[in-house]
Amino acid sequence: MNMQSRSGDETRTRESSPDQGTNMNNIMQGQAQGANSRTAIPCAACKLLRRKCVQECPFAPYFPPTEPHKFASVHKIFGASNVSKMLMEVPEHQRADVANSLVYEANARIRDPVYGCLGAISTLQQEAQALQSELHAVRTQIMRYSGASLVAPLAFKVPSSIAIHVSSTSLSSSTQTTVNSGSNEQYTMGSPESTMASVDLKDHYWSQLHQSC
Assign 186 to helix, strand or coil. strand
The reported pLDDT for the residue numbered 8 is 52
- Counting every residue, how long is the chain? 213
The answer to whether the beta carbons of residues 75 and 109 sit under 8 Å apart is no
Question: pTM of the full predicted structure?
Answer: 0.47
Query: Are residue 93 and residue 66 in the same domain, yes or no?
Result: yes
Q: Is residue 161 part of a domain?
A: no
Query: Are residue 85 and residue 143 in the same domain, yes or no?
Result: no
User: What does the pLDDT look like over 18-73, one tens digit per residue?
Assistant: 455 555 555 455 544 543 443 478 999 999 999 999 988 999 999 999 999 999 99
Query: Are residue 71 and residue 94 in the same domain, yes or no?
Result: yes
pLDDT confidence band for 147 (50 / 70 / 90): confident
Q: Is residue 13 part of a domain?
A: no
Residue among 59, 155, 75, 63 nearest 109 (CA):
75
Query: Are residue 58 and residue 86 in the same domain, yes or no?
Result: yes
Query: Are residue 103 and residue 128 in the same domain, yes or no?
Result: no
Residue among 89, 91, 39, 47 nearest 70 (CA):
47
Q: Is residue 63 part of a domain?
A: yes
Q: Is residue 19 part of a domain?
A: no
Q: Is residue 39 part of a domain?
A: no
Query: Are residue 107 and residue 133 in the same domain, yes or no?
Result: no
Q: 61 lies in which domain range?
A: 44-111
pLDDT confidence band for 204 (50 / 70 / 90): low
User: What does the pLDDT look like over 151-178, one tens digit per residue?
Assistant: 666 555 555 555 555 455 454 444 444 4
Q: Is residue 150 part of a domain?
A: yes
| Domain count along the chain | 2
CA atoms within 13 A on the CB side of 40: 15
Query: Are residue 76 and residue 55 in the same domain, yes or no?
Result: yes
